[in-house]
């Protein structure tokens, strides 16, 4: 299963994380973002509105993305973060690294 990606600008995309990002589909997520990174995308808006599960493997795949694009001034931002995802983000203190926006639209505006 692949992830829906919506192109915002040449360098910014919105990825719909869907219901779960965990050990079952983390590799799919990696290949999804990798093709966009290879095409020059530097900013990723992750839409967590429907996400019920984010486990440590899933979070690890987001970290891999961040490690790749942050040296080139890229950003990973979280939009419409559901409660289960918020718990993981709080626990790992990753809100210090990933900016959060109340909605995908707000994130699009900020990254235009």
For other proteins, the binding residues in 3-62 under the rule CB under 8 A are 23, 52, 55-57, 59-60
Figure out which of the listed residues 5, 20, 97, 106 binds other proteins, where binding follows CB under 8 A: 97
The reply on whether position 103 binds other proteins by CB under 8 A is no
Dihedral of the alpha carbons of 30, 33, 34, 35, in degrees to the nearest 10: 130
Q: Which of 76, 88, 75 is nearest to 20 (CA)?
A: 88
Both tokens of residue 92? 């790992």
Using DSSP, state whether 26 is helix, strand or coil: helix
Comparing CB distances to other proteins, the nearer of 16 and 55 is: 55
Distance CA 51, CA 21 (A): 8
The reply on whether position 91 binds other proteins by CB under 8 A is yes
Comparing CB distances to other proteins, the nearer of 6 and 87 is: 87
Binding site for other proteins (CB under 8 A): 23, 52, 55-57, 59-60, 63-64, 66-67, 70, 84, 87, 91-94, 96-97
């Amino acid at each position: 299963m692949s992830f829906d990606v919506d192109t915002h600008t040449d360098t910014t995309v919105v990825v719909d994380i869907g219901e779960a990002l965990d050990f079952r589909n983390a590799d799919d997520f990696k290949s999804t973002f990798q093709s966009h990174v290879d095409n020059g995308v530097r900013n990723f808006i992750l839409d967590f509105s429907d996400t019920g599960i984010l486990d440590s493997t899933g979070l690890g795949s987001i970290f891999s993305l961040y490690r790749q694009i942050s040296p080139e001034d890229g950003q990973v931002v979280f939009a419409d973060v559901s409660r289960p995802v918020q718990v993981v983000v709080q626990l790992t203190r990753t809100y210090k690294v990933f900016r959060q926006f109340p909605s995908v639209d707000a994130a699009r505006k900020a990254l235009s």
